[in-house]
Amino acid sequence: MPHQVPWLIWLSPMFSFIIISLILRPFFNHHPKLSGYTTIAAIGISCFLSFWVLIEVLKAPGHRLEIPDIQWVVIEDGISIHLGLIVDALTAVMLIVVSVVSLLIQIYSQGYMHGDPGYPRYYAFMSLFTGFMLGLVMADNLVFLFLFWEGVGLCSYLLIGFWFHRPAAANAAKKAFIVTRLGDFGFLAAILFLFYHTGTFDIERLHSLAIAGTLAGTTLTWAALGIFSGAAGKSAQFPLHTWLPDAMEGPTPVSALIHAATMVAAGVFLVARFFPLFEHSKVALTIVAVIGAFTAIFAASMGLVMNDIKRVVAYSTISQLGYMMLGLGVSGVAVGIFHLFNHAFFKALLFLGAGSVNHATGTFDIREMGGLRRVMPWTYITFIIAALSLAGIYPLSGFWSKDEILIYSFKTQPFLFTLALITVFMTAFYIFRVVFVVFGGEYRGTKLAHHSEHKLHESPAVMVIPMVILAFFSAVSGWLNLTGNFGEFLGHGEARGLLEGFFGILGKPLPWLSLIVAGLGIYLAYAMYSTRRISPEAVGRTFVPLYTTLSRKYWFDELYERIFVGKTLVNGLFVGLEAFDTYAVDGSVNGIADKTIATGRALSRVQTGQLQLYGLFIAMGIVAITICFYFFG
């Protein structure tokens, strides 16, 4: 394989971004479709090359390819910056996830974004995002990793606020930006801390230092925790989870790509990438597991009561990301990333399904839907597959990875196992609540009544086909590990026969436990929302305080409003924020900026234009310098 191939994987969408923004948008604005085709072609190339890389990595010894560094800046006696890529198993898996999901979503977007005035802008950002994301998973040093990391954050900000004329979208973008920046602050601190202690930004070098024990003790723990804080911000882990549900203000395909399948998983990826560091710090690893498990149950509980279909799925995403963190924390890269891999497909599909439903009904409120199974059969079937997969029903993909996480946590952290098991129940319940309310019963919408000529209809083929493909992946992607191949590929896993893998698991008690719990959840949803044997209203009334707590999201938004918007903590916090926040130019960050501007104004008053004063200042300067030299020289 030529060494240019991995480079091309992330550069191809970058070129697409440049072509769209420099050529297509200024000169071919009346052919918006071109930008869509450009993006799809570019990401198609990335996708093809990603598979090529995967095949090469599978063949390579130790499952990693040596890509020669490019000497970027070499300064004599000074630093030299090399550009390099890591192409190992983890990278290869992430490349496949990102490029495949991105490609399908770009195709789907052609239908969803049809006729939007910002169509070329949308595709420009999507290209840019995909480029950054692909670069992120391949970066071999912390500086570039951080650049890509901020790059995807920037794209996320731009895409959440895509409909920036809607205040909710603009606010959500801002919130996402600020909250993730809090995490990034820790990440950046960790990067500088690591550089200070080791003198290197090179990731693999850091790995070997951690493995050799040179990097150990509290240093390692703090570094790992700093990295995890970045990961927690990006992956919306407690307590930095509040931005993700609001991020649903962006276009739905954006939610599917960025806020379900890829960018939010970047946090999990980051922990996986630095796993040798975490592995050697018991404290850090435990914290990852605990935060993960807690986030899983915490987010799932809020998902129980949401009425906005995208928000349910968003809380589900947070919860599943918690699962992945738990997986990383209790067992290692293979388990966590396996869940990430499966989750990317079924969660993207759930979002695309939500988008498809919205395309038909014009709303995201599940109380305004109902009975859609008849008019939207494709959406219905694919959504069901994704929901079953999410609930962890045998033999769909979600089952396999979730099961592994449960098994490992049962072995090492029984308490966290309990939390995870309760989460399984909640997950099954909330997702099937959505299924029964949206697709079952009769249509209750009022929105469409006004213009009755607009009939409910299935989405166009350009949207349905990507959903069907994703449904296929959602069903079978878990089978990749039947023989333990996937685990072995990522570093650890036990080999077994295909059939043994497929059926053998049913001979153990734990999978049955989780299946029964999930089944109970589905049954409860069925009883409450389909047959109405149990009245949801009655349940809600019985547990009023609980219901309110959940639907107000544990008052976290209010809490953060107090802290961030009320100026108590804000000034001190923004000193740090402002320094690293080079994107949100104003509005969001007025704390320190106001102060600096005031200082600037005061100083420029000295600049009166009076020549005598300038002369005076010069003389003063000379005297002051001399006096300083006299005393300190």
Partner 1 sequence: MTVLDIVFWLLAVISIGAALAVVFLQNIFRAALFLVLCFFAVAGLFITLQADFLAVAQVLIYVGAISILIILAIMLTREMWRGNPGGRFQLPAFIIALGLFGVMVWAVINTSWQISAELPLVPTTAAIGSRLFGEGGLLLPLEIAAVLLLAAILGAIVLVREK
Partner 2 sequence: MSLKLELLTPELSLLIFALLVILLDLGIKQKKVLAGVSILGLLVSGGFVLTLWGRESASAFNGMFLVDPFALFFKLLFLIAAGLVILASQDYVSKFARFQGEYYALILISAIGMMLLATTGELISIYIALELSSISLYILTGFLKDPKSSEAGLKYLLLGAVASATLLYGMALVFGLTGKTRLTEIAQAIQTIPLTTLLDSPALLLGIILLACGFGFKIACVPFQMWVPDVYEGAPTPITAYLSVASKAAGFAVIARFFYTTFGVPDWLSLNWGILFASLSAITMTLGNVIAIAQTNIKRMLGYSSIAQAGYLMVGLAAVGVASMADTLGRSGLLFFLASYTLTNLGAFIAIIAISNKIDSDLIDDYTGMGSRAPLLALGLTLCLISLIGLPPTAGLIAKIYIFNAGVHYGLLWLVVIGVINSCISAYYYLGVVKVMWLGAPVSEEKVPSSWALRIVLALTCLGVLVLGIIPGKFVQIAETAVRIFTS
User: Among the candidate windows 18-26, 29-37, 496-504, 621-629, which touches partner 1 by CB under 8 A?
Assistant: 621-629
DSSP state of 388: H
Is the torsion defined by CA of 506, 512, 518, 520 positive or negative?
Answer: positive
Closest CA to 302 of 631, 45, 556: 556
User: What's the rounded Cα separation, in Å, for the pair 284 and 550?
Assistant: 29
Using the rule CB under 8 A, is 579 a contact of partner 2? yes
User: Among the candidate windows 36-44, 502-510, 557-565, 580-588, which touches partner 2 by CB under 8 A?
Assistant: 580-588
Distances (CA, A) of 194 to 228, 466, 468, 603: 14, 43, 45, 38
Using the rule CB under 8 A, is 616 a contact of partner 1? yes
With CB under 8 A as the contact rule, the residue among 74, 495, 516, 563 that binds partner 2 is 74
- Which tokens belong to 320? 């599943």
Pick one of partner 1, partner 2, none as the site partner of residue 208 (Cβ within 5 to 8 A by kind).
none
Closest CA to 126 of 21, 8, 220: 21
CB 359 within 8 A of CB 378: no
Using the rule CB under 8 A, is 620 a contact of partner 2? yes
Secondary structure element (H or E) that encloses residue 21, with its range:
none
Using the rule CB under 8 A, is 628 a contact of partner 1? no
DSSP state of 468: H
Size of the site for partner 2 (CB under 8 A): 47
Whichever of 604 and 612 has its CB closer to partner 1, that residue is 612
Smallest distance, partner 1 to C-beta of residue 620, A: 5
Whichever of 214 and 610 has its CB closer to partner 1, that residue is 610
Q: Which of residues 308-337 bind partner 1 (CB under 8 A)?
A: none
Rg (Cα) of the chain, in Å, rounded?
26
- Which tokens belong to 490? 């990522």
User: What's the rounded Cα separation, in Å, for the pair 468 and 312?
Assistant: 22
User: Among the candidate windows 328-336, 337-345, 522-530, 578-586, which touches partner 2 by CB under 8 A?
Assistant: 578-586
Is the torsion defined by CA of 437, 443, 444, 447 positive or negative?
Answer: positive
Residues 81-110, mask of contacts with partner 2 (x by CB under 8 A): x-----------------------------
User: Among the candidate windows 264-272, 402-410, 434-442, 582-590, which touches partner 2 by CB under 8 A?
Assistant: 582-590
With CB under 8 A as the contact rule, the residue among 619, 631, 632, 633 that binds partner 1 is 619
Using the rule CB under 8 A, is 586 a contact of partner 2? yes
Question: 6: which strand partners?
Answer: none
The amino acid present at 586, given as its one-letter code, is D
User: Among the candidate windows 422-430, 508-516, 561-569, 618-626, which touches partner 1 by CB under 8 A?
Assistant: 618-626
CB 379 within 8 A of CB 358: no
Whether the link from the prior residue into 395 is cis, omega within 30° of 0, is yes
Smallest distance, partner 2 to C-beta of residue 83, A: 11
Using the rule CB under 8 A, is 571 a contact of partner 2? no
Residue ranges of E strands in 69-143: 70-74, 80-83, 87-88
Using the rule CB under 8 A, is 613 a contact of partner 1? yes
Residues that bind partner 2 (CB under 8 A): 22, 26, 71-79, 81, 147, 164, 578-580, 582-583, 585-586, 593, 596-597, 599-601, 603-604, 607, 609, 611, 613-615, 617-618, 620-622, 624-626, 628-630, 633
